Amino acid sequence: MAAGGFCKLPNGSVVVALNLPSPDSGSGSIRFLVLARNRARALTRLRNLGLRAVYLRGNAAPPTPDEITAVLHHPDGLIWRTAPDNATQDLTQELWRPIKALLRSPTAQV
C-alpha cells in the first residue's frame, strides 16, 4: 500500500508526497514529491506520466520541511528518490532527482 500525504503552502498551492512501489524491482519504493495548485492537479501530473493508479488517501506521510524546500527549488516541481525501507535508514546523502531521470529508457542512454 502506498503511503502519502500533502501540505498546503501559504500561497495556496500544495506539495504532495507519495511512496509508490519501485518499477524496477518488487521490493523497495520511490518517494515522489509534486508541487501543484491543488491535490487533484498534483495527482493528475503523476497520472499523465504513466502512473495511472495513483491515489492519495489520508495524510499518513506528509512531506517534511526539507522535502518541501527541495521541491520548491526544483524548476519542474516534480522530483523523486528511493524511499527508506525503515525508520533507521539514513537518506541524507541521497539526492532528489528530476522525474526525467526515472522516465528515461535504458536504451536511450547509449
Strand-pair category, 4-8 with 78-82:
unpaired
At residue 18, φ and ψ (nearest 5 deg) are -135, 135
pLDDT tens digits, 48-107: 988 888 888 889 999 999 999 999 999 999 999 987 765 545 555 688 888 887 776 555
* Domain parsing of the chain, residue ranges: 4-109
pLDDT at 5 > cutoff 90 = yes
AA identity, residue 32: F
Distance CA 58, CA 101 (A): 28
Q: Which three cell numbers stand for residue 69?
A: 524546500
pLDDT tens digits, 27-60: 678 899 999 999 999 999 999 988 888 888 889 9
Give the pLDDT score at 89. Answer: 54
Nearest to 63 by CA among 28, 94, 39: 39
Distance CA 110, CA 107 (A): 6
- The model carries a pTM of 0.82
* Residue showing cell 528515461: 104
Across 1-102, the runs of DSSP E, i.e. the strands, are 4-8, 14-21, 29-36, 78-82, 97-98
